[in-house]
Chains A and B, each alone.
Chain A
């Protein structure tokens, strides 16, 4: 083992301590860093657009009427939320649902569930319309809020809302929430042996229900094979003239051929009023009972009934392979209903 001559030890200690002092200074974290720039009043004003649902604090000047709101709603909102807030496809239902919160199928809407009216203003202004958030003026947001509240019978048809009147609205479900939840509400015990007498399977639908997306036709493996292998489109000079199947014109499929297939094979369940026994409402809320709804859901029909055979569940309505092919062709041609 290496040993220092005795006389050098105090000197080394002094050096080491001095070094330690310098390093310790460099390694300490200050209590204040001073990075960042003070936010100017203008910057804060520009970004400070949140509205407090509880108090209405932050609601801007301006106003909007139910009547103006109806026009705006029909132009900008109804395509997803439906003319009367009933919700198209899987888009949120905005109106109705009163008295359903304790039912097996609760319908949580602005009227039946939302506790605070200013939240509606805040959300519409920050996030709606879905494809053009931030595009509405403050007055337009007041008007649309007023119309949605009117659809829920919470304000009269002649109402004009502003910061004061909107914050004053008492929503029906205002007292419907319990918070906060920092302690567990379920208390289980970790039993180890003979914890129950027997076990019964109470639900085993998953295997047969057929709603789990399967990989048919859409696995990445297949994409990679077509993507990295020789392609008909790539290197067109080597391809025979007109050789790509894409370019072969196929006979147009008329909607009149499609409608009866959907009616017989899909809409017996997927309708506002299903005719199939055991279905009181459209499964998953998906309805295929009008030409517009069928066209709007064309891509999903293709995925569920053409690309995969997920639908009809268990093929209970007996959709044939020819029918699936015809559906696919019609959808590929643009799913036209006229």
Chain B
């Protein structure tokens, strides 16, 4: 299928994506497709009083902890049952298609567990710091929370996000192609403060972080990163961590692959060598075409995706459509996002929504006039280091198709004339 002839909207669209008056008339005349015209409007009878006006509502304490209204009940995490052998060592995905802004509500943060979610009484939880330190220490949660705290907004992404798509477009869903990412405001103590308390010895070059789950998750982290910006956190988005996100305390390793952000943190051990745990050798390593594997590829490279339209958010009608999405980089701030409507032949700068923070999701928006014809939507992010998000072809040229992890390729959504949106891959 050749899109060269069909997809050259830049020729018809002005710099800001708005059609000229003449072009609008032409587009308005071609109403043969199944897409509802924007002008069709609301056909319900007009009620003199709005629903909700005629009787008293619920009391202010009807829901001591508020939950979303029933009309938003489809906004939930979902899983792909065939991906994993069990639902304990598995993943559920953030519904990015339903979220606005950059913050992920706590109840919708993707969950990647390796031995299920433990339910831990904070009174019984302890964090130990040992190994190459002058003063091995044990902390209760109350003691930890006495330390000075900081709050920072960071994304966390499982490096397997998009891992199903290396060989071809398989999942017809933004939630399943990109939903292993969330973005929260984390509150806790800088790890460097605790390291000073314990007196980490100069010969310590690596730190082992261990979780208190059934997988006793362990990952090695270099001391330079631990001293840089790693946090030991107990809150997300203003409230205590959710059990599935690490309650009562977890590690946040900004910009690095999710697996090293160890949840239910019970121990930090300092040593001279990496531990070469199962999760950093047999898993979370990128197998290349030549049979070698990239290990310790921790940094989440610059990535972006259009969250609307997408397979779950088909076109609402011809005419003005705001294309919006998210961009992120494990190396710092997002500098620019470009959008293409013709599969990457021509690109246009999108508008970045503030705040634009380091190692944090950034929202972008792009005004688009859709004619009701085939279009291939893409977004491409550039971060402050100048790294440009690659195409899948560029990524495959270096990594092959067996890597599973660290797929940060440009995503293509095929907008069909009937308004449906497909996950596709292009040349």
Which chain A residues have a beta carbon within 8 Å of chain B's beta carbons? 29, 31-39, 43-44, 47-48, 50-55, 80, 89-91, 101-102, 104, 106, 108, 110, 113-116, 119-120, 122-123, 126-127, 130, 133-134, 176-182, 184-207, 209, 211-213, 215, 219-221, 224, 228, 284, 286, 300, 303-304
The answer to whether B427 and A133 have CB atoms under 8 Å apart is no
Chain A nearest CB, measured from B3 CB (Å):
5
Assess A37 versus B282: contact at CB under 8 Å? Given A188-B390, A204-B414.
no
Partner of B338 from A36, A43, A53, A190 at Cβ < 8 Å? A190
Assess A185 versus B398: contact at CB under 8 Å? Given A39-B130, A199-B4, A203-B424.
yes
The answer to whether B295 and A179 have CB atoms under 8 Å apart is yes
Give the residue name and chain of the B residue nearest to A299 (CB): B81
Chain B residues near A191 (CB, 8 Å)?
A: 347
Give the residue name and chain of the A residue nearest to B279 (CB): A123
- Is B170 part of the contact surface with A, judged by Cβ < 8 Å? yes
Partner of B215 from A43, A127, A212 at Cβ < 8 Å? A127
Give the residue name and chain of the A residue nearest to B293 (CB): A177
The answer to whether A300 and B345 have CB atoms under 8 Å apart is no
5 contacts between A and B (CB under 8 A): A50-B269, A114-B281, A199-B426, A202-B424, A212-B173
Chain B residues near A80 (CB, 8 Å)?
A: 85
User: How far, in whole Å, are A196 and B7 apart by their CA atoms in the complex?
Assistant: 13
Interface residues of B in 73-111 (CB under 8 A from A): 73-74, 76, 78-86, 88-89
Partner of A39 from B7, B136, B294, B391 at Cβ < 8 Å? B136
User: How far, in whole Å, are A29 and B74 apart by their CA atoms in the complex?
Assistant: 47
Chain B residues near A37 (CB, 8 Å)?
A: 137-139, 143
The answer to whether A177 and B347 have CB atoms under 8 Å apart is no
Chain A residues near B338 (CB, 8 Å)?
A: 190, 192
The answer to whether A211 and B275 have CB atoms under 8 Å apart is no
- Is B70 part of the contact surface with A, judged by Cβ < 8 Å? yes
The answer to whether A204 and B73 have CB atoms under 8 Å apart is no
Give the residue name and chain of the A residue nearest to B301 (CB): A184
Q: A37-B138, A90-B83, A202-B425 are in contact. List 12 more A-B contacts (CB 8 A).
A: A50-B269, A120-B278, A122-B278, A126-B218, A130-B214, A176-B293, A180-B297, A197-B4, A199-B343, A200-B2, A200-B427, A203-B168
Chain B residues near A221 (CB, 8 Å)?
A: 73-74
User: How far, in whole Å, are A106 and B130 apart by their CA atoms in the complex?
Assistant: 39
User: How far, in whole Å, are A335 and B147 apart by their CA atoms in the complex?
Assistant: 55
The answer to whether A90 and B143 have CB atoms under 8 Å apart is no
The answer to whether B285 and A177 have CB atoms under 8 Å apart is yes
Q: How many residues of B contact A (CB 8 A)?
A: 112
Partner of B146 from A33, A181, A198 at Cβ < 8 Å? A33
Partner of B3 from A127, A130, A200 at Cβ < 8 Å? A200
User: How far, in whole Å, are A90 and B104 apart by their CA atoms in the complex?
Assistant: 30
Assess A286 versus B82: contact at CB under 8 Å? Given A194-B346, A201-B424.
yes
The answer to whether A181 and B281 have CB atoms under 8 Å apart is no
Chain A residues near B76 (CB, 8 Å)?
A: 220
The answer to whether A199 and B3 have CB atoms under 8 Å apart is yes
User: How far, in whole Å, are A206 and B169 apart by their CA atoms in the complex?
Assistant: 5
Chain B residues near A116 (CB, 8 Å)?
A: 276, 281
Chain B nearest CB, measured from A253 CB (Å):
23
Chain A nearest CB, measured from B348 CB (Å):
8
Assess A200 versus B85: contact at CB under 8 Å? Given A180-B295, A195-B347.
no
The answer to whether B84 and A90 have CB atoms under 8 Å apart is yes
Chain A residues near B222 (CB, 8 Å)?
A: 180
Chain B nearest CB, measured from A183 CB (Å):
9
- Is B186 part of the contact surface with A, judged by Cβ < 8 Å? no
Chain B nearest CB, measured from A49 CB (Å):
9
User: How far, in whole Å, are A92 and B43 apart by their CA atoms in the complex?
Assistant: 55
The answer to whether B278 and A130 have CB atoms under 8 Å apart is no
The answer to whether B214 and A50 have CB atoms under 8 Å apart is no
Chain A nearest CB, measured from B387 CB (Å):
6
Chain B nearest CB, measured from A338 CB (Å):
24
Partner of A47 from B74, B128, B287, B389 at Cβ < 8 Å? B128
Partner of B85 from A90, A193, A304 at Cβ < 8 Å? A90
- Is B423 part of the contact surface with A, judged by Cβ < 8 Å? yes
User: How far, in whole Å, are A163 and B2 apart by their CA atoms in the complex?
Assistant: 62
Chain A residues near B139 (CB, 8 Å)?
A: 35-37
Chain A nearest CB, measured from B249 CB (Å):
13
Chain B residues near A220 (CB, 8 Å)?
A: 73-74, 76
Chain B residues near A126 (CB, 8 Å)?
A: 215-216, 218
